[in-house]
Structure 1
Amino acid sequence: MGMSSPLILSVSTVFALIGIVLVAIAFGTDNWSEYQVNRREIINAINANTTLKQQLQGGVASQPIFFSRTFGLFRECFPDTVPTGIGSYTSPLGTICINIQDYMLFGDTTAAETFNSDQTTRMHLMRTTVAFYIIGLAFLFFCLFTGILGCWRRSPGLILSTGILLLFAVLFLAASMAIWHGVDYLEREVLTVAPFYRSWQPILKQTTTLNYGWSYIISWVGIGFVLISSLLMLGAYRAMKEEEADEYDKKHAPYMMPNYYDKQAMVPYAYGTYSGYGAYPGAYYGQYAGSQYGGNGYYGYMTYGR
């Protein structure tokens, strides 16, 4: 016997809520990727090399690539030292950040006219990443209403719809993450213009560590929770249909007549010669009280004149 539908729905709801919270937090935070820069080593190298000092001294104090930083979908933040003159502000999360302008959705978009093909591809992929993520979140929040209503009414149809909508949310969120990886690949391996990785000085590459941040990690974990929730929701739908069938059988069982018959019992009385059931019992007619013929099986009118 499988798990009951209320139990499956409860577990599915818990997984869905955890998943929604995690992907929402990931969307609004700024730790998708982390760049840890060893500034002390860079400064020591500059002081020891006159040529390097001439190349980098101005940028070390003002260019963000020489500072440890984290990236979200919308902001670039500086948890430690902040570059000068970059127009930074304090984000709602309390860190010093600047907005990522590469979406080119609002304001002056003339810079996009100078983009090469790889930069243009990156811009469109960034837009698609955010669009798919928002669509996935919209599916999740819509699932909250259909799921709550389905549990309240115990409606298999609403539960099935919720499970399918959760799968669509997983599809869009996973697609968004995959496209984000495409953007990350372009930034690290393809683009050769500033401020991307392949344009850096060797000393900067040697002193910078690139990692995925906790926002990226909890986004994938949240998507996993939503996927499990959708599968459990579909399992709850199946369990509800089975429970409905069991209730129907129990309700109508008293009105169902059993169709088990003993064919021997259905044969008419003393019809022993029919259907191969054997001959008449020979001594049957002799059992009447006062019969003068004993067990010969003949009545008087049948023996007249014998």
Structure 2
Amino acid sequence: MARSVIGLYISGFFCIFLSFFTGVAGCWKRSYGNVVATGLLELFTSLLVAAAMGLWHGVHHYDYQKLKDHMAYFGWPEVLKQPGGSDFYYGWSYLLSWIGVGLNLIAAILLLCGAHCLRHEKKKEKTKYMHYLMPVYPEKRQLYGYGYGYPGPYYQYGYGY
């Protein structure tokens, strides 16, 4: 279980490294897909790192409460078990790690919200100029005699239709 903690941290660092490049590409091209991929990678990273932290807590609990062999806490000499002999503290890096997991989750949520806004903005821009779009190539049969600049039916001009 302790080795799995390290594996989860390494895979979390890989995902955050990968999300950096998809985030740069998404912001550079203003691509909805890249920004969504960045948000999902950030969400997956926070899940991996939170799982690593939870597994670390599980290893600590299992080592201090459940194991009864000679290398676990219950097998230590009584001198080491006394208060002050070996104390266990959560330090500043532990708190920073949980703060980082929370901020990573907030970043993932904000990226997904930003992707939604980007998609809404592109859709609004596309519909804004929709009435200016005209067909470039005329159809074979056009209504009201607008084909090729002649006002009426073509047979009256001697084309033999």
Report the count of equivalent residues.
132
- Equivalent residue for 2:48? 172
Q: CA RMSD for the aligned pairs?
A: 2.0
Pick aligned residue for 1:162 from 19, 27, 38: 38
Q: Label 1:191 to 1:175 Cα distance change in 2 as closer, same or farther (>3 A).
A: same
Displacement after TM superposition at 1:176 (Å): 1.1
Identity of matched residues, %: 37
Please state which structure has a larger fraction of its residues in helix.
Answer: 2
Displacement after TM superposition at 1:199 (Å): 2.5
Pick aligned residue for 2:63 from 155, 178, 187: 187
Alignment of 1:14-25 (within 5 A): none
Alignment of 1:108-187 (within 5 A): 125-187=1-63
SS at match of 2:89: strand
Alignment of 1:1-306 (within 5 A): 125-208=1-84, 209-253=87-131
Bigger radius of gyration: 1
Distance in 1 between residues matched to 2:132 and 2:74, nearest whole Å: 80
Please state which structure has a larger fraction of its residues in strand.
Answer: 1
Q: Label 1:213 to 1:196 Cα distance change in 2 as closer, same or farther (>3 A).
A: farther
Displacement after TM superposition at 1:238 (Å): 0.4
Distance in 2 between residues matched to 1:201 and 1:131, nearest whole Å: 32
Displacement after TM superposition at 1:136 (Å): 0.8
For each residue in 1:61-105, what CA deviation from the matched residue of structure 2 results, as whole angstroms up to 9, or x when unmatched? xxxxxxxxxxxxxxxxxxxxxxxxxxxxxxxxxxxxxxxxxxxxx
Q: TM-score w.r.t. structure 1 length?
A: 0.40
SS at match of 1:136: helix
